[in-house]
Structure 1
Amino acid sequence: METGSSTLRIGIAGYGHLGQYLVEKILKDGPGLGLILAFVWNRNSDKLKGVVPAELILEDLSCFADRRCDVIVEVCHPQIVRDFGLHFLSQSHFMVGSPSALSDPDLNQKLRQASLQYSRTLYVPSGALWGGQDIQRLNDSGILKALFIRMSKHPSCFRLTGDVLTDWTEGEGRRVLFRGSVAELCPLAPNNVNTMAAAAVAAGKLGFTGVQGEIVSDTALKDYHVVEVEVTGPDGFSVHTVRRNPAKLGAVTGSATYNSFWNSLLICKGHGGRVHLC
């Protein structure tokens, strides 16, 4: 939707917990807020049948343009960003629910170029990141010196590409799994560090290689995830925030992040031709 339009047609790619939440919210509350659901796609379309209205189910994601969306929201996997991101931006604004995909510098640059070329917005939701707009202001002012993020979760909540956590045992306590640049962390835990990826977008001058992160397994964290952000500026300026995000065992996404994502979606109303943290 360009600024001034009365309705926003939304396409949802992915029907996991977050996708389900967004679909239900749009169907229930969307009409009163100017949001209309244009399609829902899931890798396994059988999961949608009998739950999502048949006319809203998109069987083949490559046919997304037929639904004439204003914003397409990816909430499934970084691979969809790689495979379809440029195509999405050629037709609509695009909200990247898996911003860890942007750690690939080539893809990041191509998506930014496409956003500019087509005058579309590449939206990056803040998710569980607290103070993202403030980080962005420091970055844009040229006074952000360093940014560090630590994400601590119960081991059952991590989805790692390697075998780092295959030997964990209940009650083992706290274990640092990895510490390094967010560029290194994103391929290791693509589904767990989207908060860090959003921070790297906010801190654009530091970027994915300059922003530092740490992921921690802690068997004591059975009821919530912990996100700590340390911001460093000039002349001894610093901010340290700690966010406890309620989450069930095994949950990749904390419950408070769902509402955060919904509020981000409500902002997607025509900021064309740029990357926008929302």
Structure 2
Amino acid sequence: METSGSLLRIGVVGFGHLGKYLVERILKDGAAVGLTLAFVWNRNSDKLKGLVPDELILGDLSCFADRPCDVIVEVCHPQIVKEFGLHFLSQSHFMVGSPSALADPDLNARLRQAAQQYGRTLYVPSGALWGGQDIQRLSDSGALKGNTGQKALFIRMSKHPSCFRLTGDVLSDWTEGEGMRVLFSGSVADLCPLAPNNVNTMAAAAVAAASLGFTGVQGEIVSDTALSDYHVVEVEVTGPNGFSVHTVRRNPARLGAVTGSATYNSFWSSLLACKGHGGRVYLC
């Protein structure tokens, strides 16, 4: 892989809370861990002024190829993955921070084909998913199978209602103190379009569980007004002969925060793993 000296050149697409964290971390610690910024893009470039060096601000995303880089990191919205994912892979490795976009089977297939065609890696960060590598190994071995009355892979995400960003009006009538409300229960393929910014953890699990895919992985999102300090992610995995694993992760998060605080460090660790794995999808 051609790099700038010994430093991996990173392009960051999106400057919300997560994008801002990654940019600040690269500017502060990048050289020590082999990373440097190639560019930063945000839909509203004014938000970058004073926070990102002017020479690193990319005004027009369609001109990204003018800023050579080794890894492009998307941390804004699934629509960017749909519009630019194939173009990104034609020029560099691509880390999909909004893997809910991969619930679209046509886009998923085309991105995988592009990764193979160009010899690039389509990186999918684990985010708040605990045990993703284990799920992947179980799936690859053909042992990810539900027992009688059980789902092979089930994920429940519970958050305070202020933390959800839904495409419909399912939560428009919530009131403080109402307790728990199941907002959706079904396949992750159907859930991703409803909550594209909230269920990237489930999307990462669906990528790990390739034998099941987005349709075969079952997910549930729960609004809970008691969860004012953290998000809860529960993962239930089953296999043959009574095998099962149940994990519960409590991820500290502020009211209204889409992303839990522990996920920021997880993304940073994922970025450090993007060293080029050529022509495939890689859960990092």
- TM-score after normalising by structure 2: 0.97
Q: Deviations over 1:69-122 (max 9, x none)?
A: 100000000000000000000000000000000000000000000000000000
**How far apart are the structure 1 equivalents of 2:170 and 2:157?**
16
**How far apart are the structure 1 equivalents of 2:67 and 2:2?**
17
Q: Once superposed, what is the RMSD of the aligned Cα atoms?
A: 0.9
Secondary structure at the counterpart of residue 162 of structure 2: helix
**Which of 172, 194, 198 is the equivalent residue of 1:192?**
198
- Given that residues 89 and 120 in structure 1 are in contact (C-alpha distance below 8 angstroms), is that contact kept between their aligned partners in structure 2? yes
Q: Structure 2 regions of 5+ residues with no counterpart? A: 146-151
Deviation at 1:53, TM superposition (A): 0.4
Q: Deviations over 1:158-188 (max 9, x none)?
A: 0000010000000000000000000000000
Q: Deviations over 1:235-255 (max 9, x none)?
A: 000000000000000000000
**How far apart are the structure 2 equivalents of 1:137 and 1:128?**
18
Secondary structure at the counterpart of residue 256 of structure 1: helix
Tell me what 2:258 maps to. 252
Residue 133 of structure 2 corresponds to residue 137 of structure 1 = no
Secondary structure at the counterpart of residue 268 of structure 1: coil
Deviation at 1:2, TM superposition (A): 6.0
Q: How do 1:174-189 residues align onto structure 2 when only pairs under 5 Å count?
A: 174-189=180-195
**How far apart are the structure 1 equivalents of 2:216 and 2:46?**
42
**Which of 214, 221, 228 is the equivalent residue of 1:208?**
214
Secondary structure at the counterpart of residue 142 of structure 1: coil
Tell me what 2:19 maps to. 19
Deviation at 1:6, TM superposition (A): 2.2
Match of 1:19, as an amino acid?
G
Secondary structure at the counterpart of residue 228 of structure 1: strand
Fraction of identical pairs, as percent: 87
Q: How do 1:41-60 residues align onto structure 2 when only pairs under 5 Å count?
A: 41-60=41-60
**How far apart are the structure 1 equivalents of 2:207 and 2:267?**
16
Residue 176 of structure 2 corresponds to residue 170 of structure 1 = yes
Secondary structure at the counterpart of residue 193 of structure 2: helix
Residue 150 of structure 2 corresponds to residue 150 of structure 1 = no
Stretch deviating more after TM superposition (191-200 or 46-55):
46-55
**How far apart are the structure 1 equivalents of 2:86 and 2:276?**
18
Q: How do 1:6-85 residues align onto structure 2 when only pairs under 5 Å count?
A: 6-85=6-85
Deviation at 1:195, TM superposition (A): 0.1
Deviation at 1:51, TM superposition (A): 1.3
**Which of 154, 166, 172 is the equivalent residue of 1:160?**
166
Secondary structure at the counterpart of residue 187 of structure 1: coil
Tell me what 1:94 maps to. 94
**How far apart are the structure 2 equivalents of 1:202 and 1:6?**
31
**How far apart are the structure 1 equivalents of 2:181 and 2:33?**
44
Match of 2:84, as an amino acid?
F
**How far apart are the structure 2 equivalents of 1:178 and 1:271?**
36
- Given that residues 2 and 269 in structure 1 are in contact (C-alpha distance below 8 angstroms), is that contact kept between their aligned partners in structure 2? no
**Which of 227, 238, 253 is the equivalent residue of 2:233?**
227
Tell me what 1:113 maps to. 113
Deviation at 1:32, TM superposition (A): 1.0
Secondary structure at the counterpart of residue 89 of structure 1: helix
Match of 2:14, as an amino acid?
G
Deviation at 1:33, TM superposition (A): 1.0
Match of 1:229, as an amino acid?
V
Stretch deviating more after TM superposition (46-55 or 110-119):
46-55
- TM-score after normalising by structure 1: 0.99
Q: Between Structure 1 and Structure 2, how many residues are aligned? A: 277
Q: Which runs of 4+ in 1 moved over 4 A?
A: none
